Amino acid sequence: MKKLIVAFAVGMLVVGLSVGGAFAKSEKQSATVQACVLLPDTKSSVRWETQDRPTFIAAFKKAGIPATVVNAEGDAQRMRSQADQCLANGAKVILMTSLDPGSGCAIIKAATARKVRTIDYDRLNTGCKGANYYVSFDNTKVGKLMGQGVKAAMTAKGLLGAGKKPVIAYLNGGPTDNNSKLFKNGYAGVLDPLIKSGKATKGPDQGVPAWDNQKARTIFEQMLVSTSNKIDAVAAANDGLANAVVTALKAKKLKPIPLSGQDATAQGAQNIISGWQSGTVYKPAKVEAPAAAALAVALIKGGSPKVNGTTNNGVRNVPSVLTTPTWITKANINLLYKDGQLKKSEVCVGSYKQYC
């Protein structure tokens, strides 16, 4: 009998961790959860855990809304299970950063069947009727900022002079992420004209499955091999992919090249101040997450959600809240410290102290 009680206790502990502890790392789930946030992974960007999670938790706590924040760790089936758990716990609104449109649309369908409102957060689900709302940055503009940053860095290095024809490579985000397409549309819109005019040469152009940084390094190393190390600039879709470029260049003892990034991570900031990355797109979670939380709170409390536009998901125009990103370089990197996006102490450490 004693063994049975112990086994039951252990079993209950495992269930409790799977629902609220191991994946959530947030407030304990109560019998009723009104707002449920589904984050995608920890590989595509550290922002989901270091920036979005704590901002969501604080925003819902301030509003007095019982909420849970969970992370699928790159597993679409796990995200579906987490969504089902939230629905079973009485969620009124689900905010989701999906791993792919197929699984995202399935969650939206399940929530809609229960008359639960849905918000696409940061990533838009395409190919279905979609969520009730979409909250993100203008992702084509995000890509445009990256393209402009790479172009400016190329100009500063004198790479766009007569007869230079530098090779520009594209290291794109995950192929199943609609944002990746929007980012690429943005930077290609700036850089492709240089190629078409003969001022630059088109280099390798490849997406990185699931935004996996390790795969990104392998892909970029293959790009270097295919061009005999002749890559003069890279539009990399976020800081993690940019760091894969940096580590590959260092391993081959090659010099820094114009290189974009996104998410304003500590690693990205270190690469910027040390001269290995031209800049990063700052998309403050303190702006995006509170905007999504405010929208969810309005839906839960019966208010009138405020939007500032619509975004077409291929089937319909989704009411949207679109916020403004900022391009960060070494010249204005102090903005990240001032805004509380990063602590200077986490950037200016070890070998990076000398650049601060």
| 314-to-101, 126, 128, 222 alpha-carbon distances in Å | 11, 6, 8, 34
Helix H segments across 231-284? 239-251, 266-273
**Letter for the amino acid at 120?**
D
259 φ, ψ to 5°? -150, 130
Domains and their CATH numbers in the chain: 7-131+285-324 (3.40.50.2300), 139-283+327-355 (3.40.50.2300)
How would you label 51-72 residue by residue, b for 16+ Cβ within 10 Å and e otherwise?
bbbbbbbebbeebebbbbbbbb
Residue 160, pLDDT score: 95
**Residue 120: closest CA among 133, 105, 106:** 133
**Cα 241 to Cα 261: distance, rounded to the nearest angstrom:** 8
Contact in structure between 219 and 247 (CB atoms under 8 Å)? no
DSSP state of 41: -
Q: What is the CA radius of gyration of the chain?
A: 22
Q: Which residue has the tokens 């995200």?
A: 79
- Dihedral-angle region of residue 28 (phi above 0 means left; psi in -120 to 50 means alpha; beta otherwise): beta
pLDDT given at position 102: 95
Measure the CA–CA gap between 250 and 244, rounded to whole angstroms.
Answer: 10
Cα angle 98-336-260, degrees, rounded to a multiple of 5: 60
What one-letter code names the amino acid at 182? L
Length of the chain, please?
356
Q: pLDDT in tens for each of the 356 residues of the chain?
A: 433 333 333 333 333 333 333 334 443 444 489 999 999 999 888 889 998 999 999 999 999 999 999 999 999 999 999 999 999 999 999 999 999 999 999 999 999 999 999 999 999 999 999 999 999 998 999 999 999 999 999 999 999 988 899 999 999 999 989 899 999 999 999 999 999 999 999 999 999 999 999 999 999 999 999 999 999 999 999 999 999 999 999 999 999 999 999 999 999 999 999 999 999 999 887 889 999 999 999 999 998 888 999 999 999 999 999 988 999 999 999 999 999 889 999 999 999 999 99
Residues with Cβ < 8 Å from 77, sequence gap 6 or more?
A: 103
What is the reported pTM? 0.77
Instruction: Note the pLDDT of residue 163.
Output: 85
The pLDDT value recorded for residue 19 is 36
Residue 160 CA: distances (Å) to CA of 147, 153, 245, 275: 14, 10, 21, 19
Tokens of 301: 């409390």
297: nearest Cα among 133, 63, 24: 63
pLDDT at position 337: 95
